[in-house]
């Protein structure tokens, strides 16, 4: 499929390619939908091997944001920016000033914050050029603790759905990625009585966490073979593919990473193996919800209620899928599509 065909198939409203030769900034900003509000989603900085890899990532991630924001009940659309990491060394400040100018040029139709490879500090820099950034002190704060809290809520709901009991005591969780979200989630799981097997590409990070919470560490590639109740992917996307799904020895998958399924058809492969998959964009919405305080003038109480509401939303999606005999991915997409259809009807 050509990039233009992919854009048409996924239904994007607009794609912006922007470059600034003095800073080495090259980025794609994908606005998937503004039906519910400004297209909102993180900015990823990654050493993509080609522009078309970056485009595909931006297209998939931005559509995921439309669904995530719609399911979370936020008056926000879906978008995503990917910056193609320039060769080292580069001037990070100049890069994020250029990004700020690109975001500003969209006049508020795109709002962004940190994602993989970027930090709240980068958006404080970008904020010198644009008002349409969030996710730092004074603008929603660091989203990661809220993402972890929401993933925990979704994971508990999936546990309840699978075993008829939300308790995590004695459950074994295999957790991939001990970064901002994975680390916080592992600590909550440990406090709730779960036993953890953790991994990270950065072995020292995994060891440090394991020492503190009494977890077992395995090598990154070994995480797919761990016999556990729950697998929690909190590293990068596209990790559930034909080969890893065949290896998994778990009953539930619930984690923070975006786009965990390599392709949508892998939702069927998981169902065929009787593994309950809590769709990533349903349970990892805590971070974007936390930004809603600043973006939508919501109160802190509204925000916390919405993050904790991920529990009930996940239950409803998983129950709906079981009742209708469809995949949990399809059930989640239907829920998002209904919210979008209502918004379009209200516009008429």
> Both tokens of residue 20?
């600034």
Residue closer to ligand NAD, measured from CB, 70 or 257? 257
The CB density around residue 293, as the number of other CB atoms within 10 Å, is 21
Q: Per DSSP, which regions of 51-194 are E strands?
A: 77-84, 110-111, 172-176
Residue closer to ligand NAD, measured from CB, 20 or 308? 308
Calpha distance 129→102 (Å, rounded): 9
Per the rule left: phi > 0, alpha: psi between -120 and 50, beta: everything else, 86 is beta
Residue closer to ligand NAD, measured from CB, 306 or 322? 306
The least CB distance from residue 107 to ligand NAD, in Å, is 25
The least CB distance from residue 100 to ligand NAD, in Å, is 20
Give the single-character DSSP code of 223: G
Q: Which residues pair with 253 in a beta bridge?
A: 231, 277
Q: Which residue's Cβ lies closest to ligand NAD?
A: 179
> Both tokens of residue 112?
């962004």
Q: By the 8 A CB rule, do 80 and 42 touch?
A: yes
Q: By the 8 A CB rule, do 330 and 265 touch?
A: no
The least CB distance from residue 41 to ligand NAD, in Å, is 10
Active-site residue, 80 included: yes
Burial class (CB in 10 A: 0-12, 13-18, 19+), 242: exposed
Residue closer to ligand NAD, measured from CB, 242 or 324? 242
The least CB distance from residue 5 to ligand NAD, in Å, is 26
Nearest Cα residue to 317 out of 79, 90, 98, 67: 67
Calpha distance 165→168 (Å, rounded): 9
Q: Report the residue count for the chain.
A: 348
The least CB distance from residue 44 to ligand NAD, in Å, is 8
Catalytic residue selected from 12, 80, 162, 335? 80
The least CB distance from residue 34 to ligand NAD, in Å, is 20
Residue closer to ligand NAD, measured from CB, 78 or 182? 182
Residue closer to ligand NAD, measured from CB, 202 or 312? 202
Nearest Cα residue to 7 out of 30, 29, 35, 24: 30
Residues at the contact surface with ligand NAD, assessed by CB under 6 A: 115-116, 143-144, 147, 176-182, 199-202, 205, 220, 234-237, 256-258, 284, 287
Residue closer to ligand NAD, measured from CB, 127 or 235? 235
The least CB distance from residue 323 to ligand NAD, in Å, is 28
Q: By the 8 A CB rule, do 127 and 51 touch?
A: no
Calpha distance 313→334 (Å, rounded): 13
Q: Which residues are catalytic?
A: 80
């Amino acid at each position: 499929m050509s990039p233009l065909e992919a854009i048409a198939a996924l239904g994007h409203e607009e794609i912006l390619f922007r470059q600034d030769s003095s800073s080495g900034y090259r980025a794609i900003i994908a606005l998937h939908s503004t039906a519910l509000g400004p297209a909102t989603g993180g900015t990823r900085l990654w050493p993509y091997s080609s522009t078309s890899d970056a485009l595909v990532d931006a297209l998939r991630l931005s559509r995921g944001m439309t669904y995530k924001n719609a399911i979370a009940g936020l008056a926000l659309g879906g978008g995503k920016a990917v910056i193609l990491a320039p060769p080292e060394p580069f001037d990070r400040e100049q890069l994020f000033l250029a990004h700020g100018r690109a975001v500003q040029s969209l006049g508020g139709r795109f709002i962004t914050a940190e994602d993989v490879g970027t930090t709240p500090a980068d958006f404080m820099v970008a904020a010198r050029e644009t008002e349409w950034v969030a996710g730092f002190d004074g603008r929603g704060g660091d989203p990661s603790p809220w993402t972890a809290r929401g993933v925990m809520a979704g994971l508990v709901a999936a546990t309840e759905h699978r075993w008829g009991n939300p308790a995590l005591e004695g459950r074994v969780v295999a957790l991939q990625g001990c970064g901002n979200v994975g680390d916080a989630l592992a600590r909550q799981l440990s406090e709730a009585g779960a036993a953890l097997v953790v991994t990270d590409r950065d072995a020292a990070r995994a060891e440090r966490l394991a020492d503190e919470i009494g977890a077992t560490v395995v090598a990154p590639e070994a995480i797919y073979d761990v016999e556990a109740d729950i697998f929690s992917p909190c590293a990068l996307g596209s990790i559930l593919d034909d080969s890893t799904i065949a290896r998994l020895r778990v009953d539930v998958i619930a984690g923070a990473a975006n786009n965990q399924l390599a392709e949508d058809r892998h939702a069927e492969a998981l169902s065929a193996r009787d593994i309950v998959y809590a769709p990533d964009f349903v349970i990892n919405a805590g971070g974007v919800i936390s930004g809603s305080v600043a973006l939508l003038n919501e109160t802190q109480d509204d925000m916390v209620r919405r993050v904790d509401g991920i529990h009930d939303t996940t239950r409803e999606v998983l129950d709906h899928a079981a009742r209708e005999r469809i995949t949990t991915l399809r059930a989640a997409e239907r829920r998002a599509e209904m919210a979008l259809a209502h918004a379009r009807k209200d516009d008429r």
